[in-house]
Each structure stands twice: as structure tokens, then as C-alpha cells.
Structure 1
Amino acid sequence: MSTPRIREAARAVVLDENDRILLLRYNESGKVFWATPGGALDPGEDYQTAVRRELGEELGVADVELGPQIATRTKEHLVQGEAVQQVERYFVVCLAASRVDPARATQTDGILTWEWWTLTDLSATDQTVYPVGLTELIDRFLSGGAPDVPFAFTG
């Protein structure tokens, strides 16, 4: 049995002026879920550059100021049928909802739709949202700022 290849990825916890979070809806091999914007690093790219590029590609947003890294996540899963060990870093991005324009997106990567969620709606949903524990992470950030050490998601 071989070890899955490492796939580094940068993700954005995008919050608007009303503290809503932007989530993207995907259908991968019949599995429908919501997730934060982001994706794999290109060769030679750092996490910050990757998350800015991904926001442009997926949401049509340019010139984004990144906030702090607030979390990490390591998870084995399938990407286009290949088992990978995905290593993610999550960065806060605060921007006005009106700046998001998927019509300007250049690479939608199978995104079905996007939606702004309140924390109340997010905590009450029965839909699958990744990463598990996102609501608590955002709540901690909004009430206490960025952690000294990024939170480590376990799932």
C-alpha cells in the first residue's frame, strides 16, 4: 500500500461586513457539500499567493488583503479519483459582499453555487460543510481575534 501524495492547499475564510461567511457548493462524484474557497498550491507558490489566486479564479475578486492564518487541516481524501493527503492552511479574508462576482471567475472547478451564510444558519444546517468545526472557528475569531497558534481541524 502506497502513501498518498501530499497536496498543499490554501483556503479562505471569507467574511463580509455583516460577519457572514461565503461558502461554495460542490458535487464531487455524487457527494454534495459546502466548503470555503481555495485550492491547491501551484508549483513554487506559497500559501498566501495561492489563496489570492484562488479567490480570483473562483470568485472574480482581485487585490485581496489577507488577514491572519487561523487554522490548519490535514485530511486524506480523493481528488479527481486520486487519494491524497491534503495539507490546508486557512486565512481570514474580510471584504464587502458586493466585491464578490462569480461572473468574473476564471476557473470555477465544479462549483455549483455560492452563498453567504450567517453563523446561526451555519450552525443549524443539516447539509455537509467542510471543514467540520468551521462555525466554532469563526465564532472564536470574531469574539477573540486570531489565535496565537492556528487551530488544527481534526476532520
Structure 2
Amino acid sequence: MSTPPLRKAARAVVLDPDQRILLLHYDENDGFWATPGGSLEPGEDYPTAVLRELREELGAENVDLGAQIAERRTDHPVGGLQVRQVEKYFLARVVPADIDPDRATQPDNIRSQRWWTLENLQTTRETVYPHNLGELVTGVLAEGPPEKPIILR
């Protein structure tokens, strides 16, 4: 059996001044919520990609991009093709008024977006990726960004 092709992805854990987390809803795979982000373009580094993705998906401006806080490796389908994805998650802070879906140039099958409190995130029965996002954000808010990115399962 061959190894799926590698897909590098940059993702943002977007927080507002009230420490709410912005998640995007997708209908595929029975519906799920996920952090904004997407694959790197040729020659692009992860921080550049995450800022581009926030502009493309959310019309986000004035993003305060922080440190990489986590990494996840997973095999899953993207556009019908099985890939081995390496995701790097960066802390990003924005004011909700700086997000304007009307400015989004590539909304990528996003059905809706919602600001979640940590309590909402930890008690929801809906599927959220990455799993344990609430615990990750709780730790970052309590202790600051980790010295080394946390490896997510």
C-alpha cells in the first residue's frame, strides 16, 4: 500500500478579545466545525499561508498572528483524494469587526461561522477539529504559548 501524498496545512486558532474561538462549519463528512486554514502554496511558509487563508476564507484584516501552538498529522480525504496532512496551528487574535465574509475570496465550502466560548466548545456534541481544541486553548490562555508546539492526536 502506498503512502498518501503529503499536504502541508496552516491553521489558525482565532481568538477575539473575549477569548471566544472562531470556528467554521462544513457539510462534508456528516458536518463538522474546524479552525480556519488550508494548504500551503508553492514557496509559502506556514505563517504566510495562515494569514492568506484568513483573508481568503474570512475576509480578515488586522490579524495579530502569534506563535505556533500545536501540530497534528493525520491521513484523511481532501477533495476525494486521500492525503497525509501535516497541520501547524498558530494563535491569532482579531477583533470580530475585522472579519468580513463579503471580502472573502475563497470561502471553500464554508457553510457558516460561529464564535464559541470555551464552555460551548467543551460541552458540544458536534464534531470539532482538532479534537481537544478546548483543552488546548484553555492551556494557552492559562500558561501562554508552549515552548514547543503541542502534538495533537
TM-score class normalised by the smaller sequence: over 0.9
Name the SS for the 2:65 alignment partner. coil
Structure 2 counterpart of 1:92: 91
> Within 5 A, what are the aligned runs for 1:97-112?
97-112=96-111
Gaps of 5+ in 2: none
Name the SS for the 1:72 alignment partner. strand
Paired residue type of 2:60: V
Residue 65 of structure 1, CA deviation: 2.6
* TM superposition score normalised by structure 1: 0.96
> Within 5 A, what are the aligned runs for 1:6-155?
6-28=6-28, 30-154=29-153
Q: Any conservation in 1 of the 2:62–2:94 contact (CA below 8 Å)? A: no
Residue 63 of structure 1, CA deviation: 4.1
* TM superposition score normalised by structure 2: 0.98
Cα distance in 2, alignment partners of residues 129 and 59 from structure 1: 18
Which aligned segments of 4 or more residues in structure 1 are displaced greater than 2 angstroms? 62-65
Cα distance in 1, alignment partners of residues 105 and 145 from structure 2: 31
Q: Any conservation in 1 of the 2:61–2:99 contact (CA below 8 Å)? A: no
Residue 62 of structure 1, CA deviation: 2.7
Q: CA RMSD in A?
A: 0.8
Please tell me whether residue 4 in structure 1 is matched to residue 4 in structure 2: yes
